[in-house]
Structure 1
Amino acid sequence: MKIEGGRSVQLFRGLVALLLLYMKPALGRDECIERERQALLKFKQGLIDDYGRLSSWGSEDNKRDCCKWRGVHCSNRTGHVIMLDLRGPWFNSNFGSKPLKGMLSPSLLQLQHLNYLDLSYNDFGASRIPEFFGSLSKLRYLNLSFAEFGGEIPKQLGNLSNLWSLDISGSEAFYYDVKNLDWLSSLHSLRHLDLSGVFLGEVVDWVQVISKLPLLVTLRLHESKFPNIIPSALPPINRSTSLLVVDISANFLTSSIYYWLFNCSSSLTDINLAGNELEGVIPDAFGKILSLENLDLSLNQLEGGIPKSFGNLGNLRSLDLSSNEFSESLPKFLQNLYGHAENSLEILNLRENQLSGSLPDITKFSFLRELYVEYNQLNGSFPESFGQLSRLEVLVLYRNQMKGSLPDLTTLPSLRKLNLFENQLTGIMPSSLGQLSHLEFLDASSNFLEGVISEVHLSNLSKLQYLDLSFNSLSLEFSSEWVPPFQLGVVRLAYCKLGPHFPNWLQNQNNFTELDISSAGISDTAPNWFWDLPPRLQYLNLSYNQINGLLPNLSFKFTDVTNIDLCTNLFEGPIPVFPPNVSSLNLSKNKFSGTVTFVCAINGGDLTYVDLSDNQLSGNLPDCWMHLDGLVVLNLANNNFSGEIPSSMGSLLSILMLQLRNNSLIGEFPVSLKNCTGLIIIDLSDNRLSGTLPAWIGHGLSDLIVLSLRSNQFYGSIPSQICHLENIQILDLSLNNISGIIPNCIKNFTSMAEEGSSSPSIAYGYYGQPPRDRDGEQDMYGNGRYVVSLFLIWKGRESEYKKTLGLVRSIDLSSNKLTGEIPNEITSLVTLVALNLSRNNLTGLIAPKIGQLRLLDFLDLSRNQLSGGIPSSLSELSFLGILDLSNNFFSGRIPPSTKLMSFNASAYMGNPGLCGPPLTEACPGDGTPQDPTTIGGNDGVGNQEHEDKFITTGFYVSMGFGFILGFWGVCGTLILSGPSRYAYFKLLDNIKDWLYVTTAVNAARLKRQLQY
């Protein structure tokens, strides 16, 4: 935040005012010189004016009177054109306007008295700045900023010796080709210079050039990427008394810039060094620039604290230290501002650091108007009371860990904005909130506040425009006749109790652009008056209530792009027509019925997200998807749709997620989806689709993360091209009629074969303002996130995965007709979490290296024709939670490991050749009496005595030690690294196996003793 009324800004405004005052006698003359009129008409001919901004030039009304043409000003005294202001639209400030384009005619040279030329914010297609500009010798003001010029800046601009202000800044630094700035040295009258965005990476002598401008007041070189200063290579710098404003932000500068900065001027008022690479502590020299008013050191890597000398800055009004690495306690950090700065500072920005502690008594800064301390680590509380009445208008503390309750707020009577979002505040909302008559913005969401919000809290807040109390335990209780004194623009009350009846006070609110009353305990019919929504509504969220009734026709309600979320309610009946400019639409988990032909009436340019899942919708899917080319998410799962998937779905060129699960769709896999090359999620499971798996999936849809075709009627073999799905994380082809072999090339599933970081969920971000932090479905900017959910057969039952879906790596080919062996290459998929190949006709052995799948949690190979022994490496799968090898032809002893013996015997049943625990079938040689002579006794008595002595107190101590070791081994490994945990589990298994065998042998001996 910058001070708009600072001395430097006032000075520059004075400069412009002086220039306009110089021209004032010239403005308003009703006729112009014919030669100059013709020059203007010729100048117009070279321009492309799509919006008709120059339509008054030569019109019948003002055909001869060019002084009345738009942007043209003449001298009353001489009639000459002295000012040409053709600035273009700036960030849509002129709604509907378009920039001028084309070529600039040298006919402007006929305007020999022109002293003001502004062509900023137009588009001249990277053409060069005309050299003839250098011949407009009387120019005092030249503004070419953001006009999309390019190439070499003409040195002829150095001829403009009368120039006061030069601005050729822009957003595309590569447009200009600048080798030197020597031409600047001739502009001895220059007061204001702005080259922001102009790449100066090759201009090594920029300091020397700037020093030759004796009257320069303002220097702006934001994002110009000029070289760092080498102090030893510079000549002595003459200190200036004219330079007041220096903006050299976003230039990757190091601390070497301080040498020039602290020697360039003795009167600096504004310094902007934001977005550089400054490290270490703040230099004490800043505190010696007593004229300093505005200092911006944000977006660097500064640390330590504020120098003590800052207390001497009696003119300091704005200090921005945000986005650095300061880590002191906040009270200590602010101590060095006490003194002269204590009585001058108006804006203090400490956002995004690591400051801790409590909020101190900020009323010590008697003129402080704005304080920003969000994104820090404040873990204390508010002071019990503030020392004096404060002028504070803005207090932003969101995303800290502040505790305790809110204080009496009557000492902050000027407060306009209070943002406490996402802290750990407790207690009730103080009634003194109602005394903040200037309050416009209140966000106390995502805390632990409780109690009742009544009319007392809000009745005096006539200026309130933004109200967010979401995600607390608050109950809003107003009388049914209460009429709020405010008109809210944003209403966010998610998870506040408003019900059970629909809140009547909303009937008075006619201007809101956002309304979120989700999870508000409303179990009522939405009244008719509610649907008379404000036309500028952009976000409507009534989700997670029990609101019932029919939806009216909303097609002509809204003028702006709108996001609508009505999910998880009891709405019923047909889905009405929605506004053609709707952007996101979530009607899932309701009781809507009928068809979805309403989508054909939506203008698809804005629509990105549609979720109609879990309703009672039926009929064929409409074949009108070709106009929804912006659609990214389409979820129609869990309905009663029938017929084929329409081919027009292949026109959804932006689609990322397509979910048609659990309907009655028929036909083959639609070949038109080959055009949807960006798809990452396809879920067509639980339908009646048939045909073969198309080979083009591997090449055409190579970005797929999830492919679920479970429970359909697909047949044929798995095409080898499917191995091109390098990003696949979940492949589910189960419950079909697929035959043939499992391709060896599955080793190419890179996402399963390489370890890497994964997001817990699979989500798509879309524009909107949903409630924050419900299931993590919002990003840091307040935009929505559609989080994909998927049903997987896991551990014997179907479960929905949402928040952790991104961590799952799963292959499910179960319940098909696959033959052949399980390819050994499957052991290269080291991040695989679930593998289900059950209920097929697979033969051969389990790969000996299956222990490489060390993250495997679920393994089901049951009901096949597999044979051979169970590999001992299977015991190395420390995370294995479910194992089923039943109903095969495995043989031999089950490897004696604690891991494999921990599973129920049913995991191994139906394998006649298997033996050993946990099965009851003993293996050959188990329990055979040993030769007494091998034990050490000479007779039966001696042998018996030996066996008696083996089971001693020490034996039970050993067992106790084993239990303790096992218990703490398991707990301890939870905090070790992955490789250590894996190795430690293996060691633990060996120890436990020894204990098990020892116990079994001694138990057998004891049993034989009892039989004698």
Structure 2
Amino acid sequence: MLILFVLTLLACNKHSYGFGSDPKISCIESEKQALLKFKATLIDEADVLSSWGSEPDKTNCCKWWGVKCNNHTGHVTVLNLSKISPSFSLSGHVTVVSISSSLSGKISPSFLELQHLKYLDLSWNYFSGNFSPIPNHHLGNVSSLRYLSLRQNLGLSVGNLEWLSYFPLLRHLDLNSVDLSQATNWLELVSKNLPLLEHLDLSSCGLPNPVPHLNFSLSLITSVDLSENSLSSSIIIDAFGKMISLVHLNLYDNEFAGSIPKSFNNLSRLQSLNLMENSLTDQLDKFLDKLSGKSLQILNLEWNQLRGTLPDLTRFSSLRELHLPYNQLTGPFPTSLQLPNLGALNLRGNQISGMLPDLTVSHSLTFLDLGHNSLNGTIDKSVGQLSRLEYLDISSNSLEGVISEAHFSNLSSLKFLDFSFNSLVFNISSNWIPPFQLDVIRLASCKLGPDFPKWLRNQNNCSELDISGAGISDIVPNWFWDRPPNLVYLNLSYNQMKGLVPDFSVKFSDYPSIDLSSNRFEGQIPRLPSKVESLNLSKNLFLGSISLICAITDFALSYLDLSSNQLSGWIPDCWEHFQKLNIINLANNTLSGKLPSSLGSLSQLRALQLRDNNLSGELPESLKNCLELKILDLGGNRFTGNIQPWIGTHFTKLIILSLRSNNFYGDIPLGICQLNNTHILDFSQNDLSGMLPRCFGNFSAMIHRYDSMREAIDFVYMRGRQGDNSEGYIAAIYLANALVQWKGQEREFGKNLDLLKIIDLSSNKLSGEIPQEIASLAELVSLNLSTNNFTGKIVEDIGQMKNLESLDLSANRLFGQIPATLALLHFLNVLNLSNNNLSGKIPLSTQLQSFNPSAYSGNPQLCGDPLPNKCPGEEEGTKPPLIATGNEKKIQEEDGDKLITQAFYISMGVGFAFGFWAIFGPMLLSSISGYACFKFLDKLTDWLYVMASINLARLQRRLQS
């Protein structure tokens, strides 16, 4: 693509680059001195401008690198110091594109002394400071410059663009990534000062929205790029409807909302329109009606909010690319596109439904992405006739049926195939040889098994292979492991593949991601590539030591999951190599020994999961350097010592903290209360003692609701090709998991982990009263303080914990009555208050009487339903009062009220209504007393409601008796 870009520039500007000047031509001395002054302000650490000098063999500036002179006059016409430059063969053809070392420093205005300069390219360097080219008074007012590019000089600012008036002949202006944040009137200055402008690129410049009342005219302009500027003003979008010569318009990544104006229909020459990543909300058919269909070839509306169905597009007969992914399109796929020139169609991430139509009419298709929609039915075999197709993605739909060789019969150009997450069954003969050589194969959740697919033997260029969840229960054949080492991503997870795994150190390219999890591979952990980026061997039958991870010497490792195997031995002490490591999961093995101190060197570590091993000793002090930790799960080991305060003070991003089932002892430190992001706090089954800190009511994440909790737990890490090819990076989601005691049973949560907010301190030796402040944890769903030595009363305001689903306070020494507010916990479905010293009557509510009596057993002085023992004064068969508070005086008062009748309450209601309007009606008409009146009435209404409810309850009981 880079060579094509250079060739295009050369075709448009045959004399643009500073190569090929007539060797007989000598430059003009004054212009040579201007160039040397220009060089003097530059920093040229790589000596790129070594040919610029005053030595005898360097006097002719027309032979200097980046300089070109007119072959007749000797005047400098071209100055090209761009970092990207073409190299030429003797015949003058481009042979290779070289990228020279960058220049830096300041840009001197001395280039203005080159009054015949037509082409100035300083792009892709590191120039900084303020570019403000104001000529000396004796130079005249007009520059002959036609082409100016300062592209990709990230430290450069160009002020307010007033200097454009000195370059009225400019046809090409490229200031991409140059700071223009102060240029409030940029659009007016460009329009007023550059009447001949044809190409304008102000992308990524921090442009402000222009001032209103703009007088705009750029009738000759053909190409505009204002992408990545966060522009939103309708002034700008309206202005483009007047640029009748526009051919290319790029407004990608701005904030334009609504729709485009009707004037866009006048842009009869428009060939490409990019409005990707804006906030367009129009109906798609109405949006397209505002475009001229005559010449449009490329239309990109990705990541907007366009609605409606995909309309008839036949009037866009020249359309070559249509990009509408991640909008809100619905309805069926059109029966036929009838676009013979269409080469790329991207409808990904909508809600398009129905069957996949016959696409052979669009025989020019090279790119087809219909992934993440609601397509159903089968895939017609006609897709196999798209002989030019290179990219095919129909993943994450509801497609079903059988896939045979006929579906691929003529796809000889295919390089990318993604059928994943559909209900497709591959019925392909064992001797089939595909007509294609794929780079990417993604068939996750398709039915390929039970045999290992033999057609993969032919795919020797594959860099990414995902056949996870494919129902394969075969031994992986040797020919698969002996394939050319092109793979950078391999996913065989969630199958039942068997056998030994070979030496991986020579089987993969640099920086591979390998996922063999959830299979039945066995034997020792294989030797690993020294530059592996992601490794998941979890849920297999691997055994032995994990010391081979020390063979990974490169810094790139970001993900390591060896959990749920049969691994043993000590955790090696070589973690200082892995400065990019985000995730370590070694849970569910039989690892032993102490944690190595080098774990503390992992400054980017976000998940450390070591639960259910035989690890022992105290936590190393160095671990407190892992400031990015979100998940720390050390449960089910034999760790000992105090819980260190730095867990709370240093790990402030922790979401999950589980130290359950270890040998920790001593008090819970106050520092733990600083864990404001924690959703799961589990210290159960240890030897902790002392009082529970009152600051346990400070956990912010357990007080407030956060809608993005899933994002916080399942965080993003980077996997894929690293090194020089940054395009190989793929953002992957780490699906966090945790083992918790939930409603009396141990359960591992992964998918629904974001729904849990839990405190479990059970099975310790904690004492003292339960802090009243704990009632402020309104978002807590499970609280387990059982099997401790807590005394005192149950928190009186426990009813504030309105989201509690599980409450276990059993096996303590709590006394007193059960708070009436417990009846307010409407989501409570697990309750255990057994084996305490509670007394009095169980409060009445729909839920509290529905629990098994065992929830209250072991409290001899506790009485009332559902316990068999009745409270004192209750007669057999007598219905208990509606609201039980333990105060028998209220019951006596109700029984003694003999004069209240149903007619009394009817009369009271009529009398109140008449008296209300007689007394307060005139007051309501007064605006002065209205507010005070309503305030009084609000209180009066509350009082009347309470009194009426109480008296109505009395009446009902009287009538029943």
Out of 279, 282, 286, the position equivalent to 1:326 is 282
Decide whether the 8 Å contact of 2:660 with 2:685 is kept in 1. Answer: yes
| Aligned residue type for 1:904 | N
Decide whether the 8 Å contact of 1:326 with 1:353 is kept in 2. Answer: no
Q: Is 2:875 aligned against 1:918? A: no
Shift of 1:498: 1.2
Decide whether the 8 Å contact of 1:363 with 1:390 is kept in 2. Answer: no
The 1:453–1:928 alpha-carbon spacing in structure 2 relative to 1, beyond 3 Å, is closer
Decide whether the 8 Å contact of 2:237 with 2:260 is kept in 1. Answer: no
Q: Is 2:162 aligned against 1:182? A: yes
SS at structure 2 position matched to 1:256: helix
| Aligned residue type for 1:382 | F
Decide whether the 8 Å contact of 1:421 with 1:443 is kept in 2. Answer: yes
Q: Is 2:148 aligned against 1:198? A: no
Shift of 1:485: 1.5
Shift of 1:192: 1.7
| Aligned residue type for 1:211 | K
SS at structure 2 position matched to 1:286: helix
The 1:413–1:502 alpha-carbon spacing in structure 2 relative to 1, beyond 3 Å, is same
Q: Is 2:597 aligned against 1:647? A: yes
Q: Is 2:822 aligned against 1:874? A: yes
Shift of 1:504: 1.1
The 1:628–1:351 alpha-carbon spacing in structure 2 relative to 1, beyond 3 Å, is closer
CA distance in 2, matches of 1:273, 1:449: 35
The 1:927–1:94 alpha-carbon spacing in structure 2 relative to 1, beyond 3 Å, is farther
CA deviations 1:576-604 (Å, max 9, x no partner) are: 12112111111000000010111111124
Give the aligned partner of residue 764 of structure 1. Answer: 715
CA distance in 2, matches of 1:417, 1:673: 49
Q: Is 2:767 aligned against 1:819? A: yes
CA deviations 1:629-682 (Å, max 9, x no partner) are: 211100000001011111111111111110110001111122221111221211
Greater Cα offset, 435-444 or 35-44? 35-44
**1:311-460 correspondence runs (5 A):** 324-327=280-283, 330=285, 334=288, 341-356=292-307, 358-385=309-336, 390-460=340-410
Give the aligned partner of residue 284 of structure 1. Answer: 262
SS at structure 1 position matched to 2:165: helix
Decide whether the 8 Å contact of 2:232 with 2:256 is kept in 1. Answer: yes
Decide whether the 8 Å contact of 1:169 with 1:194 is kept in 2. Answer: yes
Give the aligned partner of residue 123 of structure 2. Answer: 145
CA distance in 1, matches of 2:544, 2:7: 65
Shift of 1:11: 11
Shift of 1:268: 4.0
Out of 157, 163, 167, the position equivalent to 2:149 is 167
CA distance in 1, matches of 2:60, 2:789: 93
| Aligned residue type for 2:192 | S
Q: Is 2:68 aligned against 1:88? A: no
The 1:75–1:439 alpha-carbon spacing in structure 2 relative to 1, beyond 3 Å, is same
Q: Is 2:804 aligned against 1:859? A: no
| Aligned residue type for 1:433 | V
Greater Cα offset, 468-477 or 196-205? 196-205
Decide whether the 8 Å contact of 1:812 with 1:836 is kept in 2. Answer: yes
The 1:251–1:750 alpha-carbon spacing in structure 2 relative to 1, beyond 3 Å, is closer
Shift of 1:32: 9.6
Q: Is 2:457 aligned against 1:507? A: yes
Give the aligned partner of residue 16 of structure 1. Answer: 13
Decide whether the 8 Å contact of 1:897 with 1:993 is kept in 2. Answer: no
Shift of 1:783: 2.6
**1:813-852 correspondence runs (5 A):** 813-852=761-800
The 1:659–1:266 alpha-carbon spacing in structure 2 relative to 1, beyond 3 Å, is closer
The 1:343–1:217 alpha-carbon spacing in structure 2 relative to 1, beyond 3 Å, is closer
CA deviations 1:71-103 (Å, max 9, x no partner) are: 566777788986554422599x99998764xxx
**1:670-749 correspondence runs (5 A):** 670-749=620-699
**1:297-316 correspondence runs (5 A):** 297-301=275-279
CA distance in 2, matches of 1:692, 1:227: 56
SS at structure 2 position matched to 1:156: coil
Give the aligned partner of residue 217 of structure 1. Answer: 198
Give the aligned partner of residue 576 of structure 1. Answer: 526
TM-score of the aligned structures, taking structure 2 as reference length: 0.82
Give the aligned partner of residue 21 of structure 2. Answer: 26
Shift of 1:477: 2.1
SS at structure 1 position matched to 2:838: strand
Q: Is 2:560 aligned against 1:560? A: no
| Aligned residue type for 2:295 | S
Greater Cα offset, 33-42 or 452-461? 33-42
The 1:77–1:546 alpha-carbon spacing in structure 2 relative to 1, beyond 3 Å, is same
Shift of 1:361: 4.5
SS at structure 1 position matched to 2:328: coil
CA distance in 2, matches of 1:991, 1:477: 71
CA distance in 1, matches of 2:852, 2:608: 39
Shift of 1:342: 3.9
* Alpha-carbon RMSD: 4.0
Give the aligned partner of residue 308 of structure 1. Answer: none
Shift of 1:63: 9.4
CA distance in 1, matches of 2:9, 2:152: 20
| Aligned residue type for 2:505 | S
Out of 517, 529, 536, the position equivalent to 1:586 is 536
The 1:271–1:719 alpha-carbon spacing in structure 2 relative to 1, beyond 3 Å, is closer
Shift of 1:14: 6.6
Aligned-residue sequence identity (percent) comes to: 49
TM-score of the aligned structures, taking structure 1 as reference length: 0.78
Q: Is 2:188 aligned against 1:207? A: yes
Decide whether the 8 Å contact of 1:385 with 1:408 is kept in 2. Answer: yes
CA distance in 2, matches of 1:10, 1:687: 65
CA distance in 2, matches of 1:72, 1:437: 47
Decide whether the 8 Å contact of 2:385 with 2:409 is kept in 1. Answer: no
Decide whether the 8 Å contact of 2:82 with 2:124 is kept in 1. Answer: no
Shift of 1:430: 0.8
Out of 247, 252, 261, the position equivalent to 2:231 is 252
Decide whether the 8 Å contact of 2:199 with 2:224 is kept in 1. Answer: yes
CA deviations 1:494-545 (Å, max 9, x no partner) are: 1111111111111111111110000111111111111134434221100001
Unmatched 5+ residue regions in structure 1?
101-121, 302-323, 771-780, 931-949, 951-986, 1006-1012
CA distance in 2, matches of 1:763, 1:929: 55
CA distance in 2, matches of 1:739, 1:289: 78
| Aligned residue type for 1:186 | Y
Unmatched 5+ residue regions in structure 2?
87-93, 722-728, 879-900, 902-944
CA distance in 2, matches of 1:466, 1:730: 42
Decide whether the 8 Å contact of 1:149 with 1:176 is kept in 2. Answer: no
CA deviations 1:712-761 (Å, max 9, x no partner) are: 11111111222122222211111111111111111221211233324236
Decide whether the 8 Å contact of 1:219 with 1:245 is kept in 2. Answer: yes
Shift of 1:199: 1.4
CA distance in 1, matches of 2:52, 2:741: 73
Shift of 1:134: 2.4
The 1:276–1:618 alpha-carbon spacing in structure 2 relative to 1, beyond 3 Å, is closer
Decide whether the 8 Å contact of 1:637 with 1:662 is kept in 2. Answer: yes
Shift of 1:799: 0.2
Decide whether the 8 Å contact of 1:766 with 1:786 is kept in 2. Answer: yes
The 1:593–1:89 alpha-carbon spacing in structure 2 relative to 1, beyond 3 Å, is farther
**1:477-496 correspondence runs (5 A):** 477-496=427-446
CA distance in 2, matches of 1:240, 1:641: 72
